[in-house]
Amino acid sequence: MSGAEIARQDRIRELARQALTEGKVDYFIGWKAGHVPSEVIPAFVRNVDECDMLLWNPLCHHNLTTFLKRKMPDPPDARIGVCVKGCDSRTLVALLQETLVDKERLYVVGVPCDGIIDRRRLEKAFSDEVIDIAFQGEQVVVTTRGGETKELAYEELLLEQCASCDFPNPRYYDDLAGELLPQPEGPPRFPGLEEYEALSAEEKDRVLADAFATCIRCFACIHVCPVCYCWDQCVNRSRRPALVGQKVAAKENLMFQMVHMFHVAGRCPSCGACDRSCPVEIPLYLLHRKMNKELFEMLGFQAGLNVEDKPVFQTFNIDDALGEQ
C-alpha cells in the first residue's frame, strides 16, 4: 500500500473517532476486513474503540451510500457518518438532489480514490479460494487457501471503470481523508461498450437476452443500488398492478432490468455496485453505462455532480437535443 493510502486510512479512523467522541453521529460506516483478509465488508462502528478496524485499500469496493436510503438507517432517524469514494459521492449527491437523505443528519468523509481492484477477474486466475490479498507498492500479492502465492500488477487488476475514472475525488464531503488527486482532463469516458456498440440491433438483442437468461432474480442488483430506493413498492415485484412478469425467464428478466435502468437514469453514475453484487456475474454495466453515455451525448448530462443540479428527468430545456426531430 502506498503512503498516501495509509495516510487516508489513518485519517478515516481519526475522523470517525472524532465524530463519535463529539456525538456528531450515532454510527459511522466505513470498511473493514471480512471473514478472510481478502474480503472487505461494510463496517458499522458505534464505539470509539472500534475505529481502528476501519480500513482503506483497493478492496473497499462497497458503495456505502446504499445504507443511507430509506429503510436502511436503524433507527430510522439515526445520525450517520459515512465514507465515500468519488463514484460513491455521486450517488449521494443524487440522493441529496432529490432530498431523499437529510444533510443535517449526515457526516460525510470523502476518500480520494486510486481505484478498486476487480476481485472477480483476480479470482478466476485461481481455482483455489483466494484468502489473502496484500498490497505492496505497485504489486498485489495474492495467497490461496492451499498456500499458492502469486504477485500481480495492481494496474492490471483495476476495475474497468476505475482504470478510466473521471471523478476520483469525492464531489461532496464534510471532511477529506487525504489530499485531493489531480482531476483527470478531457471528456467523460464510458469504457467497455465498444464491442457491444459495434453489434447490429439483432446481435445486441441476443447479447442481452443471453446475459439475462442466466439471471436468478435475486434482486441483489436492485437492493445494493443506492439510488434504487422503492423497496417494497418496487414495480418489478408488484402483483397489483402486475406490470412486470414474475417468471424467471429471459424475456421477463430483461424487462425487469430495463425498468431498473430507466428508473435510475439521471441518478446512476455507473458506480458499478450492481455489477459487483450479481451472484451470476451479469454485465449490468452494458445497460447502465450505455444509458449514461446516451444521456451525456444527447443532453450533456452527468449524474450526481452537484447538489444544486436537477436530475435529468426532472428538467426540460428547450435546447435539449432529442434526436433528429
Partner 1 sequence: MKFLARDQLPTLLADLSTAAEVWVPVKQQNGVVQFDRWAPDVDVELDVFLARQSPKENVFPQTETYLEYRYLMVCSAQRPEFTDQTREELRQLVESEGGEVVAEVPPVAQELLLVADVGGGSQGEPGLGSAAGMDDSAQIILGLRPCDARGLSQMDNVFGGYGGFYFDPYYNVRRNNTTIIAVTCRTPRSTCFCRALGGSPAGTEGVDVLMTEIEGGFAVEAVTPKGESLVERSVFEKAQPEVEESAVAAKQAAEAGVNVPFELDGVREGLKAGFDSPVWHDLAMRCISCGTCTYVCPSCYCFNINDEIVEGTGERFRCWDNCFNPMYTLETSGHNPRESKHARFRNRFSHKFWYYPDKYDSLLCSGCGRCIMYCPTHVDIREVLRTMSAETTAEKGEA
Handedness of CA 73, 76, 82, 84 (dihedral sign): positive
Of 16 and 31, the one with the shorter C-beta distance to ligand SF4 is 31
Query: Shortest Cβ distance from residue 254 to ligand SF4 (Å)?
Result: 10
- Whether omega for the bond prior to residue 75 falls within 30 degrees of 0, making it cis, is yes
From ligand SF4, partner 1, none, interface partner of 165 (C-beta below 5 to 8 A by class): none
Tell which residue, 136, 129, 192, 140, has the closest CA to residue 162: 192
User: Does 196 contact partner 1 by CB under 8 A?
Assistant: no
Q: Give residues in contact with ligand SF4 (CB under 6 A).
A: 91, 215-221, 225, 227-228, 264, 268, 270-274, 277-280, 282, 284, 288
Tell which residue, 18, 16, 28, has the closest CA to residue 82: 28
3-state secondary structure of 154: helix
Residue 310, number of CB atoms within 10 A of its CB: 13
Q: Which of 231, 306, 310, 317 binds partner 1 (CB under 8 A)?
A: 231
What proportions of the chain, in percent to the nearest 5, are helix, strand and coil?
40, 15, 50
Of 11 and 119, the one with the shorter C-beta distance to ligand SF4 is 119
Tell which residue, 190, 257, 269, 188, has the closest CA to residue 226: 269
Tell which residue, 180, 126, 166, 146, has the closest CA to residue 289: 166
| Owner of C-alpha cell 457526516 | 107
Alpha-carbon gap, residue 185 to 114, rounded angstroms: 16
User: Does 222 contact partner 1 by CB under 8 A?
Assistant: yes
User: Does 254 contact partner 1 by CB under 8 A?
Assistant: no
From ligand SF4, partner 1, none, interface partner of 270 (C-beta below 5 to 8 A by class): ligand SF4
Of 108 and 274, the one with the shorter C-beta distance to partner 1 is 274
Q: Which of 165, 224, 284, 303 binds partner 1 (CB under 8 A)?
A: 224
| Owner of C-alpha cell 447479447 | 207
From ligand SF4, partner 1, none, interface partner of 156 (C-beta below 5 to 8 A by class): none
Query: Shortest Cβ distance from residue 87 to ligand SF4 (Å)?
Result: 8
In contact, 204 and 196? CB cutoff 8 Å? yes
Please, which of residues 55-114 interact with partner 1 by CB under 8 A? 62, 66-67, 71-72, 74
H or E stretch covering 181: none
Alpha-carbon gap, residue 288 to 300, rounded angstroms: 16
Please, which of residues 160-179 interact with partner 1 by CB under 8 A? none
Q: Which of 220, 235, 250, 299 binds partner 1 (CB under 8 A)?
A: 220
Pairing mode, strands 27-33 and 80-84: parallel
Residue type for position 219: F
Candidates 14-22, 96-104, 193-201, 246-254: pick the segment binding partner 1 (CB under 8 A): 246-254
Q: Which string of x and - marks every residue 260-279 that binds partner 1 (by CB under 8 A)?
A: ----------------xx-x
The residues that touch partner 1, with contacts defined as CB under 8 A, are: 34-36, 39, 41-42, 44, 62, 66-67, 71-72, 74, 120, 124, 127-129, 131, 145-146, 214, 216-220, 222-224, 231-232, 234, 237, 239, 242, 245-249, 276-277, 279-281, 283
